[in-house]
Amino acid sequence: MREQTSILIIYTGGTIGMVQDPKSGVLKPLTFKNLYRYLPVLENFDYQFDFYTFRPLLDSSNMSPSFWIELAKVIEENYESFDGFVVLHGSDTMAYTASALSFMLENLNKPVIFTGSQLPLGMVRTDGRENFINSIEIAAASEQETPVVPEVAICFENKLYRGNRTTKFNAEHFGAFVSGNYPVLAEVGVYIRYYGDLILKPNFKKLKVHKELDENIAILKLFPGINQNIVRNTLTTPGLKAVILETFGAGNAPTVAWFLDLLKEAVENGIVLFNVTQCKGGSVDIGKYETSAELGKIGVIGGTDITTESAVTKLMYLLGCGFPKKEVERLLQVSLRGEMTV
């Protein structure tokens, strides 16, 4: 007899787990004891569920690398016992957590599906019910005993995205996420339509969980008029190892001498500079315009179409692995988990 599919539901916090106190109207966290009250349909699934709750529950703005490490440990400890994982998480920083986990969970061969909602589960019009149920179906889906989605993904508003390709772009719409440079992995309608060619393939190797993350990085978002002191102070922050330069368009930046000199100095001081576009779609192409050619000469690394969320977490991961600068720079240009087009 086939064993029952088992899913571990990991509850970290966020709007999805909120219910409204009928008397005060205040939102308070849901406990798993009354989850079935709000989602009685869970009883109809022919899956075995188990629940893991983080204490304290966190609004996702309070998530940090130490939380990502805890989450990775929970998955590692339960990896062999479950067929798939559903992570309930606030949407605000979900793209960061999903990106981080994609790097930390090397050789992932099971689904880790993040979901949340814009309206609490305890509200009549909640989007959480649908997001949650779709995520369970996706985490449980298998073909010939192989998971259909063996990667870290985000399921929101009937779409499944590769986690490290997403950005939260809307604070009100139920469709809160965009994956500007990679198509959706699946769409939920009457059927769940999986786009198998776009989904990572399992490698059947043993899971390796990386638990060292180095936070000594910064993002320098360019804007017309950015001043010399701001750039200098950022690039000379004590302990700094890498900076994401959020550039314009196809990776362009001012060509004024003081700016280029400061970047050059930073590279000479051993800081990794990673060029990521501010655009939500399209790619950095160093050398396409005169305004990016100089960056290439200085030794700034082009991030092609990586998101800022993915760039932040990939840098923390690579620096956490303790690779020398040259190796970090090489791996930044390689797609490790499908996070960029190369």
Phi first, then psi, for residue 312 (nearest 5°) are -60, -50
Q: Binder to ligand ASP among 7, 8, 82, 90 (CB under 6 A)? A: 90
Q: Binder to ligand ASP among 47, 59, 76, 289 (CB under 6 A)? A: 59
Q: Binder to ligand ASP among 65, 84, 111, 116 (CB under 6 A)? A: 116
Phi first, then psi, for residue 161 (nearest 5°) are -115, 150
> According to the binding rule CB under 6 A, does residue 338 interact with ligand ASP?
no
Contact (Cβ atoms closer than 8 angstroms) between residue 115 and residue 149: no
Provide the residue type at 62 as one letter: N
Give me the least distance between CB of 59 and ligand ASP, in Å please. 4
Q: Which helix (H) or strand (E) holds 92?
A: none
> According to the binding rule CB under 6 A, does residue 91 interact with ligand ASP?
yes
Segment lying near ligand ASP (by CB under 6 A), choices 87-95, 138-146, 156-164, 266-274: 87-95
Q: Which is nearer to ligand ASP, 116 or 303 (CB)?
A: 116
Nearest to 309 by CA among 199, 152, 166: 166
Give me the least distance between CB of 211 and ligand ASP, in Å please. 23
Distance in angstroms (rounded) separating the CA atoms of residues 283 and 80: 38
> According to the binding rule CB under 6 A, does residue 14 interact with ligand ASP?
yes
Contact (Cβ atoms closer than 8 angstroms) between residue 311 and residue 102: no
Phi first, then psi, for residue 166 (nearest 5°) are -100, 160
Segment lying near ligand ASP (by CB under 6 A), choices 10-18, 136-144, 249-257, 317-325: 10-18
Segment lying near ligand ASP (by CB under 6 A), choices 8-16, 143-151, 197-205, 241-249: 8-16
Alpha helices in the chain, H assignment, sequence order: 35-38, 65-78, 94-104, 128-140, 228-235, 257-268, 290-298, 308-320, 325-332
Looking at the DSSP bridge assignments, the partners of residue 282 are none
Tokens 């303790």 identify what position?
322
Distance in angstroms (rounded) separating the CA atoms of residues 158 and 134: 7
- 191: Cβ contacts below 8 Å, ≥ 6 apart: none
Nearest to 3 by CA among 65, 53, 47: 47
Q: Please pick, among 15, 97, 304, 313, the residue that the annotation labels catalytic.
A: 15
Distance in angstroms (rounded) separating the CA atoms of residues 86 and 113: 5
> According to the binding rule CB under 6 A, does residue 60 interact with ligand ASP?
yes
Give the x/- contact pattern for ligand ASP in 206-245, rule: CB under 6 A. Answer: ----------------------------------------
Total interface residues for ligand ASP by CB under 6 A: 9
Please return the burial class of 188, using the count of CB atoms within 10 Å of its CB with bins 0-12, 13-18 and 19+: buried
Give me the least distance between CB of 291 and ligand ASP, in Å please. 36
Q: Which is nearer to ligand ASP, 11 or 79 (CB)?
A: 11
15 as an active site residue: the answer is yes
Q: Which is nearer to ligand ASP, 83 or 92 (CB)?
A: 92
Give me the least distance between CB of 256 and ligand ASP, in Å please. 38
Give me the least distance between CB of 238 and ligand ASP, in Å please. 31
Segment lying near ligand ASP (by CB under 6 A), choices 9-17, 69-77, 146-154, 251-259: 9-17
- Give catalytic residue positions: 15
Contacts to ligand ASP by CB under 6 A: 13-15, 59-60, 90-92, 116
